[in-house]
Structure formats: C-alpha cells, structure tokens
Structure 1
C-alpha cells in the first residue's frame, strides 16, 4: 500500500470515528462535537467561549460544514456566519482523544483536547487563547462533558513535550477534528526505525498531499510506569464489577508478561490499515486488543475477553432487529462473533446479562476472583522487576482485593455495584422453619428447610441488611414472612424492613480513597437495633415493669433497676466501604455494643450519623432516645480522648465503666452496692480521663468538675456553706473524691 492509499484509509477511519462518536452521543453533547472546530475557527460573540475579536483563531485546512453552522444556529438563532479569508491561521489542528473508543459512548463523557498552534503566537495571544479554551471547557461541563485541554506549540509536538505513551495514545485514540493530519499516517511500519529522517524528507516535499501534515514524532518504546498505571486502573475497574474492563485486564496481563518486548497497540492499528482493513470496528482499541488476545492467550482468557467485548458492544444478537439503531456496530459484531463458536444458548445467556438472577451474578463473580488474584500477583512481580517503587499502589490494590475476598462473620457480603441487580425480584419470601434457627430469604416459595434460597443467616438484621445492600430487597418488593417458630411479630419484621430501606444501606457507596487505606478502617455510620430477639418474645419485656417510678432510665428502670435493653444489633459502615453486623445479648449488650463501636476508632462525624430502632413497642421511643444520647456522649468523649479514657454508667443494678488505653478496651463491672463516688475514687495506675453518664450526674456537677482533669495536675474545689465546707478533688490520674469539713467553733 502506497502513502496516498494509506492516507486515504486513515482519513476514512478518522471520519468514521468522528461520525460514530456524534451518532452515539446524546443530542446536546453531539451538538458540541459538531460545533467544536467552528468555536476555534472564528471569534463570534454569540458562540460559547468568546473572549475578544483579537483572540487567535482560524484552523488550517478547515471550512465549517452545514452541521457545524446548524449547531451554532441551534444555540442562538441570531448567529450568522460570513466566510472570510484569513491572512494567517493561528491553529494547525484540533484533536480529541477518546480513551473509551467509539464502540460505546463513554459514561461519564471524558476527553482530552489538544490544540496545536503556530509557533509565532505571542504570550498575550496565548493567554487569550487559553482563556477561550477555559471558557469552552466550563461551558461544555454544563452539557455533562469533562474536557482536559492542552495547548501545544507546533514545534513541541515532535520533541520532549510529549512522552512515548502520550504519542501512542494519540495515534491510537486521537480524532483529527480539524486541521493538519498526523504525518505518522504516511510512514509505513517498516520505515518507523528511520522515522526522523523519513519525516524530515516527507515534510520537505511540498505538494506531497493536498492537505497539511503535522509531525508529532514517534517512539515505539513502552514505558514501564505507564503500563503499570494502566494495569492498576484496570484492576480497580474490574474489582468494581465492570465486565467491559475485563478485556483490558486480559490484554494488559499479556503485555506485562511480554515487557519490554511489547508492540504498542498504535502499531497494530497501522499494520491493520496496511493490510487494507476497512472495518473501523476492527481497528478500534477494543477490537485490536481482542485480535491480539485471540492470537496469543489461553482459551479461558479468550472466553473472558470475548464476553467483555460483547458486553461493550451492547448488541443482542440472539434477537432479530430489522432496523438496528447502530447498524454499523451490529453488522460488524455479527462478523466478528462468527469465529467464536458460541451456541445459541450461550448467546441468549450473554444477551440476558442485565436480567441475571443473584445466583448467576454471584457465580460469575466467584469464577472471576481467581483471575483477579493472578493478575495482582503478576502485577506485583512486574513492579518488582521493572519499577523502583510501587509499594503504596500495590498495597492499596491488595487491600481492595482483600475486601472483596473478606468472608469474616461480621462482614455483610455484597457484590460490586456494577454486578448488582438493577431491580430486585418483585416477590420475596422470608422463612424460619421449626427444625433450624436460620432465617432464609428466597425469590420463590419454599416448603422445607432443605431447599436453598438466595441466602440464609441466624440474624434477621444481617440477612435483611444483606438483601437491601445488594439491591435484592427494594421499595418495590413484596415481602412475605413465615416464622414457624412463632417467635416474632410479622408487622415488626415489616417495620424493620422499612427502617433499613430508609437508612443509608441502599445508598451507592463512594469509591474508597487511597488516603483511607493508609490508616486502619474507621466507623463512619452506625445503626442500632434494640430488643430484636430470635429466641423468645420480641415485643414483651421479661419480668414485671413498674409503671410508677421516679427512676425513668430505660437502662436501669424503676426501683427494681431493670435494664430494658436485653439485646442489641449493630450495623457499622467503615470508610473502607464495608458494612459489618454485630449481635450482643444479655444485660451487658449495650456496654458490649459501645465497646465494639470504639474498637472501630470512629471518625469524628460518627456521633451525628447514628440511627436507632427499638422493637419494644411501649418503651421504644424512650429506649431509642436513651441509646442515641448515650452513644453520642461516649463517642464525643472518645473524640476528645482517643488514646485513653473511661466512661461510667449503670446497666440494671450494676455500675460499670468502659475504659480504653492505646489499643486495649475492656468493660469493668463494679461490685454490687458500690456507689459512683466510690468508683471514681478507686486508685488508678494510668491516667484515664473520666466522664459520667448523664443519668448518674443529673445536676452536671461531676462532669463539670471532670473537665479540669489533667495529667500531673491535682485540682481542688471548695464549696463553703454555713457549717461545712465541701472539698472536691480531681487528681492527676482522672480520679475524683470529695471531703466534707465541718466548721470549728472559736473558743
């Protein structure tokens, strides 16, 4: 193929790519791509980005077409374009880099814009041009497009201003929107070893083509750091359950094994053009990757890559479509997939991916996890051989994978967001059979405990939280409950379900930041569920409750000092993106729940992100308020003294303290009959800043005095009355005592 033929093929692919980008884009965004070259070709007050009439404008070899002019008129009906010749064109070309390719429109839409200008532009002109680009970038952001721009001097394109990776990305992904064509299009694969000499000779041959050419240079080397960074990003996307990212995953794993003997994908593109490939789908980055995988990878990897490519295309070939929306994509995919030997059933399964049941999704994800583990292992080996330091990035990836594999009892398992069902089943069935203690959630009716449901767990809170978190139980679900043990009120289950659905559980989590992994996981949100029993009455309190009493503390109620909270379920959300469930039973359930919360080294804002729900009907609101106040007080005290501290409260008829020092936490019950003053006066070996529960300090005297506690300082307070003086002592270890001194009479 001669140079003229190669140029024509490259130009044809370039036109097809631009046309398909516009075709795939939503109407408002498509308008921008049509309008883009016109915005820089002229300065017009009615167009976005206008700075001044003196702003550098004009693109070499460009004349606005009817689509560009109609787009301008659609923005402002008063727009009128008058053609006029420019003495000098300020811009050599405008180029848009689309990393996602033109098989499917990127979501979110994100591109790189390169503007190559003449070397003769002065600093003030460059400043004006930059202001214009920034104004256009801000305008296009209102359309939902992220645009990262770069201004390049025409002489910078072939020197160190561009790295080898940037050049290869440009040749592979770049769309020549308007202006000079890349000289690289005209130089054959065999000539690339002598690229500088041939480029200089071609540029000196005036009249070689009827269009202007621009030399962006050439470098066939693949940078280890760039390859590593791409692999890290692809691994993260794969962990999020993005099936389309698996094509890149398989391709990059192959490149990691070949390095440094890697042939850049841009060169594969050129080879396909030289072989006369006219199908633009085949020379899309995704198509080139698939071709290479099918030539060099294992059958298992080929299967994964084909599934990913098919998902990327978004066509359902098992269905007959007489007028496809994107005919070029469907016809090209039909031609490609004929070599895959897929059966009709396989095709139907892939086409129904969006409607897969939870077991199908879970099985697919479980089958994929070993592949992800091998990829990370290969990446670690690559970094060890070719990079000076990559410990932080590898540590982050290792923790992300560990979270995915984490099957600790407390963890509420969840599929990656991209793998979750868009809408859960309309009918759900919740069972607890006589012969077992577990609750079973199913999408079909069950007749006995031997049948398998979607999931089962001994904790009702854990099971329902799992269903909500995985988008199985939603606001549109009909839930039928059958408890053969008759130990729970059905309405209570439905009320609990509504509480979970209105909680933060269904919300889409943000991507975990790299900074979060540099420290231990911290609790960010907390939900408390009191008195939800699984082995007894759920709505009745054990023992008689005296209604007439001045002692109204739900944790030490009436003269009998009854603790009305005999079980506590905790749901904790950490800044590592996981939900955890804990269950505590007995008179110390609240203290154990507090201790477990403090083990999470809670974040500062946790005290304002607490949700409480109680299954006890008559006392429910009082218990909710008490737990809310108590947890907020303990967490606030912890925030002021995270290294060491103690909190004293009464549960039932027993005084106890929760204390922490460094990483150690324990609950210390005091002997029966011990008063608060006696407990505070006990000798301590360590400085433990103290705080007393508000129900033990109704006049706030103790907590006011304890505000003055400091290491190595003893504070004395005297309150003089008629015949006595009361002295309060706050010692250097956070202890407290008081003395009563009677007044001596003068003789």
Structure 2
C-alpha cells in the first residue's frame, strides 16, 4: 500500500455485487459463444462438466469409483445440465452432495469463448480443489479427471484438466497448468494470462475481480479488507493472488519461453512474444494487459467483442509497434492474428463458421482497417500450398521479428540481469538457438520449410552452367525448363554443385525421392538422371528433414557433427572419370594405376551438426578428399551417429566408396574431438596429404609429392602431444603406419630395423614428432645403449627446463622396438629391454650449443672431460675433437662416434624453454655427429 494513499474502502463505491455480475454476464456470453461453435454432443460436454465433478454418479462419464471426492462450491445445475445428464443416464436425479465441496472452482483457459476459438482449439481446464484434500483423495479425483478427458476425446474434443491448489498457487508453487506453460518460471505472467482469458464455469469466482484496477499494487491488503469486512461471503470467492509486480527474472523467462516457441511456430507465438517485449520495454512500470482489461469491465464496459481477450491483446501489440515505428513487424503481428483465427476470408464460410458469423464479420472489418486487398487474402489463405518463393519471403519477416525480440530481451537482461538473477546461460542458449535457425554461414543450407506446408515439387530441372570466371554452377528450376528457355527463367535455387542443390531441396522438402521427377542438363545436353536420383535417395535415407534441433545441453556446448556423408562424383561427367581409370591396371582408387589417378576428384561433404544446422561443402580437384576431411574435422567436437560415403557416376563406385570410408574411420578418433591435436596422413593422386588439428584447435591440410618434405612435416615440433594416424596405403613399404599406432604420450619410442651394417631408426617423441635416421649398425645392444643413455639425459634436461611433473611434458620412459616382418608380410614390432649403463666401455662425448651476444652460435664439446670450444678453435673445432677421439680410443679406429649428452639453449631453436622437446635434441645430435664423423673420416 502506498504511503500517500491509505486503505479506504467503501462498499457502495466498491460495488462488489455489481462488479461480480458484470464479469459473470461477460463470461456467460463467452460461454454461449463456445456453444455456438460446437456440435450438439460436444455442447453436452460444456453443460455437464461442472456436474460431473459435483456428483459421483456411476452412469455419467468419468466415473471412477464411489470413493472419488465430489462437490463444486456453490454449484446448482441448470436445466441444460440436467437434461444433458439424463441423455447420458435416463434415471438421473440430482442430489446435492453432502460435506465440504472437493472442487472450489472450474475455469476454461485460453481461446475458449473468444474470437480465436475454432473447432481445433484445445480445452485447458483449471480444476481448483480444496487444499485440504490428501494424496489419496487427489489420486481418486485425478482418476475421474482422466475419465472426463477420455470422454471429451470421444466427442472430438482435446481436453486437458490441470489441478490447482489455490493456497500453493498463491504462494508461488505452480505445477504445469497448460501444455504450453513453463511452470514456476512464469507464475505471475501465467496468472495474468489466466485473469484476462480464463472463463469461469462454476464454483467460486476470483477475488481479483473485486479489487479496483487502480488499487492492484495493494492487492493483498484490499482483498483482506473486503473479506474481513464481509463485503462478500468469503466462501463465494477464490483467491489465486494479485498482479502487484512482475519480477524481472519472470518477465525475462517468459520472453525466452515465447521466443523459443517462436523459432518453431513463429505465428503461433508472435502476439504473446510481442506482448512480453512490450512489458520488457516498459519495465518496471509494466501496465499489465489483464489489469487494463479488468479496469474496463469495472468501469461498466460490456461489449463482449471489444473485450475479446485476443482482440485486446492485438490492440496492445498494435499500439506498441506503431509507437516504435515498426510497420513490418506490425504486419507480421496482423498475419499472426489472421492465422490464429483460422477464418479464410477469400473462400466461403464452412459449416462451423456459419454458426458464428460475427467472427467472420469482425475479421472482415479488421482486414479492411489494415488495407488488405482480396489478392493478399488469397495468398495468405493458400499458405499451406505456398511455393518456396513465398516461404522465403515470409521467412525474412519472421527473422526480423524474432531477431528484434531477442535484441530487446538481451538489452533487458543487461539492464536488469544482476538484480533479477537472470541466467546468462539461458540468454546465451536462446541466442544460439536463434542464430542456429537464421544465421548465414559458409556452406550452411538455409532452411525454409518450417514456415509453410507441403512445398515439394513434382518435376524439377537441374542445369549445369559455367559462370564468367569459368567455374561450374548449377541451377534448380520448377517444372521442365529446356536449355533454350534458360534466359527468361528464374531458378528456385543456385548452387556451386549439384549435390548442394539436392541437399537444399531435401532439407526444405522441395525434392521428394519418391515423388519428384528429375531432369538433368550438363553443358546444354540432357543426361540421364538415374545417378542423381540415387544421390537424392541416399540423402533422404541418412538425413531427417528438417534436421533435428539441438537440446539445451547440446546448445550449451560447441557444435559437433551428428551425421556426415561424403557424396563423390555427383553430377560429374562419367565418361571422364571412367576414361581416367581405363587401362590403368587397378589398385587404390585414389592412386589408380600407373598414373596414380585420383578417381574421387569431386567430393561434396553434407553434414548435420548437434545444433540442428545443415551444411554442404563442395570440393573439386586433386585435393578434394583432403579438403573435405579437413572441413569435417573443423565441424568436429562430438561422436557422430553416422560417418559414411557414397559414390556415383563411376564404374569404380564401390571401390571409391570403400576407400573413403576407410579414411573416415581413420579420421573419426583423430579429428572429431575438439580437445587434443592429431594428424592424418594419406596419399591421393601421387601426393601425400596431411590433415592436422593443431593445439589451437585449428585444422589445416598440407600436401607434398616429396618424401623428404613429408618427413619434415612429420618431424616438426609440437606444443602438445599430437598422435599421428597413417593410412596404410600412404607408405606401403614403410613401417610408419604400424609405428604410429603404438604412439602414446609420455613415452619416447625408438624403432630400429637392421639392414646389414646399417640400421633404419625412427623415433616418436613425447609429443608425437617423428625423427628418422639411417646409421651404422653393429649390435642391437650397442644401438639401444647409446640412444637410451642420450634420451634419458635429454629427459632430465627437459624436466628441469619445463619445471613440470606432467609425464607428457617432463621426465618420461624410453621404449625400444625391433621392426621385423610377420608371417604374412605385415610389420611386426618386437619390444626390447633398455640396456643398463653397466661398465662404461664407450667414450663420454657431451656437446653444449649456446647463443652469445650478437646471435652467434658457440659449440663446446667435452671429450672425456676435456673442453674443446669453437671460441678457441673456430671452424677447426670438429677436426680437433676427432683427434681427441682417436687419441682416447683404445683401438684407434675411425668407426662412427655418437654423442652421449647434449645441452641445447632454447634460443638456438627459437622456442621458449617449455616448448623444447626431444626431437629438437635429436636433430642437433644428428647434425653434430655428422660433422664429427666427417672429420674422423678425413
């Protein structure tokens, strides 16, 4: 209660009986309007509904047992109710139930009795029960309610009965009170909607009716005074609470709820969404529509049409949008109301509409006021048969409307979020849902079909053309459009590839594999469309249309791939593909025959992600497969439900499909997880391709035809562990694929293969970088001994540099494997134990590489503790060291020398200390040993 307005109530001024009677009269006329719209048997449902809960008669619909609590407060069945009861049970005689009534009031919520009520409308019924009923009594009452719902269903009515405990509701505890409610998150706004749309059927009437509209902020005190002074019988009213003030978090929640609904059914939610937007714009002094509605009735207004809840709602939205100068959004609001009323004005009224001519007359008056022409009405009335052009135009208006509402909600959250505990996560997810539906992205398929009915085409023509830059383009036309009619025809869709048009047509319902006839032209000549039709069938088999929306948990995370399909050679010239394979002798279809022909030169990646977005990325040329796999990795981030490939227009289709599915299986663990780097190596068209996800999450692809360059790629330093996955067909005579499968973090793995007096060495270090070398070989023990000692010293140095105990970044173990041939020629890895230091029979040779002022590199070599430095010996350093080695060797031989330890300054390799790794030391070790051994040979 305001301090400057003491609570003074006068019975004559308040006029509780007069206000009550005005409300009851209005509700009575609305009830009559419901009966006008229903058939005779359906009318019995309305007549009987209160009576079914007032008595417990075994012959009446909904009877569950004699234990069901009965009685509706203050109810006395009228003649229509008793006659309807006798139509169900001839011997029915009404007897007033004994005891306290179980039901305090019955109301109809929503469009019932309004201009928006149609034969398709639901009946949402609020059953306000005695708060003292225990769980057993409520369970019995719910059983009867279920029976009443089933009876309504048998009459062709969709009935939902919701139980309301008035005391709990008034305290803010709300169960689901409509199938579209958001529960407790919208308590007061749900009550606000109830007060302006709810229709009283029987029992107590709302105390809210009696509180003057101007005294709404004082609601609790006013109701208390009315009841305490017995201006009305306390048993005649039900108190569900007032509308003193709507909390910011509830207003925001209601806006989020309506906007979320609007993404799927924009016209159904438009008016309520715009009302929430209006409320948010006026906050905190929100002029609630229900309070305005009550004030008009209390003032004596009794025109049932002028007070129609949906027309009152429209007028408020209209005033808001006009004040904002939002004419295009106002047009969307008008269309939303027109569609809601379901009264097509361009055709004659149906049987149901003839019973309520006032609805049609009112809508005619509205459309004349809006300036709508007959042709515009015809277009709107044919919405279920709109073509894709009309759908696209409508979509633009919907995008504008929803985007603006989101901006208003975002501004409201920024201004009032801290005080109102508005969830930033809710706003973030809402924005993500909105932009998922409407934001344009590279390769994203624009989805249009949710705004219309059946848009599928019985016949379409697909043309391949060449643009001014010589690039291939495809056009999709409705009907049959031969080449000589191209100039004057407007395509439904343009695309970079045929698969892109097929994907767009499928996801939007334009192309139906079982009902759409495809006509195909390439370069002005008609081609057979069997393979194109098969590609469309494959899309329809793998991808639901439209794509399923992401749930809240999925939208809270980065998008990941749900379904991905590689479509190969769709729309390609089959003669050119088959000619490339002819006479080549077979083999890997990505490296076919002696010319290494790549038979998958046209690849389209079609995918749907976990947010519900669809994409089509076309790739052409020798690198098409690598670029498609890299793009798939960029979309990664989730375990997909399906990764598949299919090939068309090729005699080698089966082999190509199998080959690509092998690569998809290889890339699944590598690239579809956003956390963790990884690399995939494969070969196509005579080149090596490396698809790599870096530690920064970015995906890159590289290629080379040279093995030496490839080894440089694989040997590059890495900021984190990056597992290497090698396609077995990439290096068929190399054991690298088998070696890579053993790679794991925290272990430096040494693989060797002896070939006479030489050994091939491969080292995968703690971060997956590859080092390869061929060196002299005497015995496995000698090789393992010197490499093991060197690598352990490197491990200790890196642990000190990094200052971490993480085994992947600090001291690690060293594992040795002998590379051998298995029984079937496959690579076999035989684990070898590291050799202990034992009695040292080898020369200690330590090198230090540092950088001094001026950027000059200084080498120091300790030959059995004798220091030899480039500071003293300059370019002759390695000759001096070679002399020292000869001097110290017992045999005096010139066999190769190996470093046992190396200290490498980070500045030498241009990396911070924590980024040094074993491969850096191995490359410098190889370089220094080469210089030393050249000096020894001289």
**Which residues of 2 match residues 493-572 of structure 1 at below 5 A?**
493-504=532-543, 507-532=545-570, 537=574, 540-546=577-583, 552-572=587-607
Q: 1:460 aligns with which of 494, 498, 514?
A: 498
Distance in 2, matches of 1:667 and 1:28, equals 71
Distance in 2, matches of 1:33 and 1:225, equals 37
Deviation at 1:33, TM superposition (A): 7.2
Point out the structure with max Rg over C-alpha. 2
| CA offsets 1:560-604 (integer angstroms, 9 cap, x no match) | 433221121111212222211112222222122111101112421
Look up the match of 2:891: none
Deviation at 1:370, TM superposition (A): 3.9
Look up the match of 1:58: 71
Q: Evaluate the alpha carbon distance shift between residue 148 and residue 668 of structure 1 in structure 2; reply closer, same or farther with a 3 A threshold.
A: farther
Q: Secondary structure at the match of 2:646?
A: strand
Asked if structure 2 preserves the Cα contact closer than 8 Å seen for 1:521 and 1:600, the reply is yes
User: Higher RCO, 1 or 2 (CA under 8 Å, sep at least 6)?
Assistant: 1
Q: 1:213 aligns with which of 231, 237, 258?
A: 237
Q: Evaluate the alpha carbon distance shift between residue 324 and residue 673 of structure 1 in structure 2; reply closer, same or farther with a 3 A threshold.
A: same
**Which residues of 2 match residues 576-587 of structure 1 at below 5 A?**
576-587=611-622
Q: Secondary structure at the match of 2:287?
A: coil
Distance in 1, matches of 2:221 and 2:234, equals 22
Look up the match of 2:105: 93
Look up the match of 2:917: none
Asked if structure 2 preserves the Cα contact closer than 8 Å seen for 1:529 and 1:568, the reply is yes
Distance in 2, matches of 1:695 and 1:68, equals 83
Distance in 2, matches of 1:641 and 1:260, equals 44
**Which residues of 2 match residues 97-176 of structure 1 at below 5 A?**
97-98=109-110, 102=114, 103-104=116-117, 111=124, 113-118=126-131, 121=132, 125-132=133-140, 149-153=162-166, 164-176=188-200
Q: Evaluate the alpha carbon distance shift between residue 81 and residue 493 of structure 1 in structure 2; reply closer, same or farther with a 3 A threshold.
A: farther
Deviation at 1:508, TM superposition (A): 3.1
Q: Secondary structure at the match of 2:240?
A: coil
Q: Evaluate the alpha carbon distance shift between residue 483 and residue 278 of structure 1 in structure 2; reply closer, same or farther with a 3 A threshold.
A: farther
Q: Which runs of 5+ in 2 are unaligned?
A: 1-13, 175-186, 773-816, 822-938
Asked if structure 2 preserves the Cα contact closer than 8 Å seen for 1:488 and 1:537, the reply is no
Distance in 2, matches of 1:670 and 1:239, equals 47
Q: 1:418 aligns with which of 433, 450, 453?
A: 450
Look up the match of 1:333: 363
Asked if structure 1 preserves the Cα contact closer than 8 Å seen for 2:22 and 2:297, the reply is yes
Asked if structure 1 preserves the Cα contact closer than 8 Å seen for 2:59 and 2:89, the reply is no
**Which residues of 2 match residues 352-391 of structure 1 at below 5 A?**
352-388=382-418, 389-391=422-424
Structure 1 residue 321 and structure 2 residue 327: aligned? no
Distance in 2, matches of 1:106 and 1:377, equals 36
Asked if structure 1 preserves the Cα contact closer than 8 Å seen for 2:37 and 2:119, the reply is no
Q: Evaluate the alpha carbon distance shift between residue 212 and residue 306 of structure 1 in structure 2; reply closer, same or farther with a 3 A threshold.
A: same
Q: Evaluate the alpha carbon distance shift between residue 712 and residue 56 of structure 1 in structure 2; reply closer, same or farther with a 3 A threshold.
A: same
Q: Secondary structure at the match of 1:243?
A: helix
TM-score, normalised with respect to structure 2: 0.66
Distance in 1, matches of 2:28 and 2:192, equals 20
Structure 1 residue 308 and structure 2 residue 342: aligned? no
Q: Evaluate the alpha carbon distance shift between residue 613 and residue 37 of structure 1 in structure 2; reply closer, same or farther with a 3 A threshold.
A: farther
Pairs aligned (count): 726
Look up the match of 1:709: 743
Asked if structure 1 preserves the Cα contact closer than 8 Å seen for 2:73 and 2:104, the reply is yes
Look up the match of 1:291: 315
Look up the match of 2:766: 732
**32-41 or 176-185, larger mean C-alpha shift:** 32-41
Distance in 1, matches of 2:58 and 2:537, equals 55
Q: Which runs of 5+ in 1 are unaligned?
A: 743-747
TM-score, normalised with respect to structure 1: 0.81
**179-188 or 334-343, larger mean C-alpha shift:** 334-343
Deviation at 1:92, TM superposition (A): 1.6
Q: Evaluate the alpha carbon distance shift between residue 295 and residue 524 of structure 1 in structure 2; reply closer, same or farther with a 3 A threshold.
A: closer
Structure 1 residue 644 and structure 2 residue 672: aligned? no
Q: 2:473 aligns with which of 404, 428, 438?
A: 438
Look up the match of 1:267: 291
Q: Evaluate the alpha carbon distance shift between residue 191 and residue 660 of structure 1 in structure 2; reply closer, same or farther with a 3 A threshold.
A: closer
Look up the match of 1:469: 507
| CA offsets 1:172-225 (integer angstroms, 9 cap, x no match) | 233434321112334443565665565446546779589922233433433322
Q: Evaluate the alpha carbon distance shift between residue 212 and residue 337 of structure 1 in structure 2; reply closer, same or farther with a 3 A threshold.
A: farther
Structure 1 residue 657 and structure 2 residue 694: aligned? no
Look up the match of 2:629: 594
Look up the match of 2:724: 690
Look up the match of 1:612: 645
Q: Evaluate the alpha carbon distance shift between residue 564 and residue 297 of structure 1 in structure 2; reply closer, same or farther with a 3 A threshold.
A: closer
Asked if structure 2 preserves the Cα contact closer than 8 Å seen for 1:100 and 1:106, the reply is no
Look up the match of 1:745: none
Q: Secondary structure at the match of 2:580?
A: coil
Structure 1 residue 230 and structure 2 residue 254: aligned? yes
**271-280 or 305-314, larger mean C-alpha shift:** 271-280
Asked if structure 2 preserves the Cα contact closer than 8 Å seen for 1:51 and 1:128, the reply is no
